[in-house]
Amino acid sequence: MDLFKSNRNLFIIALIVIVNALGYGIIIPILYSYSHQFGLTDFQNGLLFAIFSLFQFIATPIIGRLSDKYGRRPLLIISIAGTALSFFIMAFAPSALFLFIARALDGVTAGNIPVATAVISDTTKPEHRAKGFGIIGASFGFGFVFGPAISTLTVGISPSLPFIIAAVISLIAVIMTALFLPETNQHIGEVKKGKLFDFHKLYQALFDPNVGITLIITLIYYLGFFAFIYAFQPYLINVLHFSANQVSLLYTLFGILGLVTQLLLVETLSKRYGLKRTFSYAILTVAIGFVCIVLFRSVAMFVVAMIIVGIPNAIVGPLINTIISRETDDKSQGTMMGLNASYMSIGQILGPIVGGALTSLNVMYPFVLSAALVFACYLLSFKTLQPGVRKESAF
């Protein structure tokens, strides 16, 4: 691809994202059964899943701000090495306590994604950032497609083998980052002084004149989307009577759909229809897909609804990053990407909790909530990228 030829840093960043996604894709299909070997109850398993997002939420603004202060490269090397260590801990955990330690460490080191996106902002022109962020999203999709496949092929040999493979892949990424990725932050140390993690700043960012609305969209959108993610499997199994293999196949199918969308459509649509219009209508289409799930309860219509959701959802994430990069000055790209990832993590933490509570009442309620929240994001999207001179930010 032309963008890879003109910016080889994109290849390294894509590899980093693939490593994160591979780890996620490898772990999700087998973590529940793997943790049962350590005697965890269903409630404890829920905590094990949640601890990743909790620690990711805490770590992302810290790592983002540190990358503004000390550089992208050292933070990426340290965080990917931490990811590798977390996988090794999982593979050789002597007790359930070490599973929790590994998941917490994996959550902390997953905070390198906003640093990776900041590298895109550092090294690409504004008009090419949508494509760059699309490559990031496609790389995640690539890892999420092949992660479950690795688990399927290797877990039968040894329950710990998938974790070892993920760790080795992470170590390769560490070596490639150390050898081939130059420092891209041209404003090291110029970020305004402040606390590395500040709840007041996190709250205050919602009212920032430049990025506040976009951060609110991130929070609401991912709250709605992860309420849907939680209800996804109960709906398939209890309403449509899917088998576990069919559920896995559907995950893989829409992973491929997202991968193709982010590689081929993100930049094309944003150039043809404009960044803001593409963003708004992608969000609206996701909401329509959720409404279709509520109204039509058949396997065929569910697959159609998932296509309606899957394609625009693969567009929304990269465009959120692109919009924030346009709304943020060059000195604070890492900080803002970190704050955005934190709000995404809050959605990932609260969405399944809300979705689980609603599912206990009616399995369709989470889809209704998701449709309403995402439609609210559609209305808010018109207030992003306001024309005029950028106002001074507190960040």
Do residues 205 and 215 make contact, with C-beta atoms less than 8 angstroms apart?
A: yes
**DSSP letter assigned to residue 392:** P
Residue 349 makes CB contacts below 8 A (sequence gap 6+) with 50, 53, 54, 57
User: If we measure between CA atoms, which residue out of 113, 136, 140, 170 comes closest to residue 256?
Assistant: 140
Do residues 53 and 350 make contact, with C-beta atoms less than 8 angstroms apart?
A: no
The parts of the chain modelled with pLDDT lower than 50 are: 1, 389
pLDDT (tens digit, 9 = 90+) per residue, 346-391?
888 888 778 877 877 888 998 999 999 999 999 999 988 775 545 5
pLDDT score at 130: 66
Half-sphere exposure of 123 (CA within 13 A, CB side): 25
User: If we measure between CA atoms, which residue out of 94, 110, 103, 89 comes closest to residue 47?
Assistant: 103
DSSP states of 80-115: HHHHHHHHHHHHT-SSHHHHHHHHHHHHHHTTHHHH
Question: Is the pTM here over 0.85, yes or no?
Answer: no
Do residues 241 and 370 make contact, with C-beta atoms less than 8 angstroms apart?
A: no
pLDDT score at 12: 74
Torsion of CA 379, 383, 384, 386, to 10 degrees: 160
- Quote the CA–CA distance of 156 and 4 in Å, as a whole number: 37
Give me 124's structure tokens.
Answer: 């690409």
In angstroms and rounded to an integer, the radius of gyration of the C-alpha atoms of the chain is 20
Residue 283 makes CB contacts below 8 A (sequence gap 6+) with 217, 221, 312, 316, 374, 377, 378, 381
Distance from CA of residue 181 to its chain's centroid? 22
Do residues 310 and 258 make contact, with C-beta atoms less than 8 angstroms apart?
A: yes
Angle at 120 between CA 2 and CA 147, to 5 degrees: 85
Do residues 7 and 121 make contact, with C-beta atoms less than 8 angstroms apart?
A: no
Residue 34 makes CB contacts below 8 A (sequence gap 6+) with 90, 159
Q: Where in the chain is the domain with CATH 1.20.1250.20?
A: 1-178, 201-384
- Quote the CA–CA distance of 248 and 313 in Å, as a whole number: 19
Do residues 162 and 26 make contact, with C-beta atoms less than 8 angstroms apart?
A: yes
- Quote the CA–CA distance of 161 and 166 in Å, as a whole number: 9
Do residues 171 and 84 make contact, with C-beta atoms less than 8 angstroms apart?
A: yes
Looking at the domain 1-178, which fold is it? Growth Hormone; Chain: A; (1.20.1250)
Length of the chain, in residues: 395
pLDDT score at 389: 44
> Which pairs with CB-CB distance under 8 Å and at least 24 residues apart come from 273-276?
275/130, 275/319, 275/322, 275/323, 275/326, 275/385, 276/323, 276/381, 276/382, 276/384, 276/385
Which overall architecture, per CATH, does domain 201-384 show? Up-down Bundle (1.20)
CA-to-CA dists, residue 201 to 21, 207, 320, 332, 368, angstroms: 29, 10, 20, 14, 32
CA-to-CA dists, residue 164 to 104, 173, 176, 357, angstroms: 18, 14, 19, 35
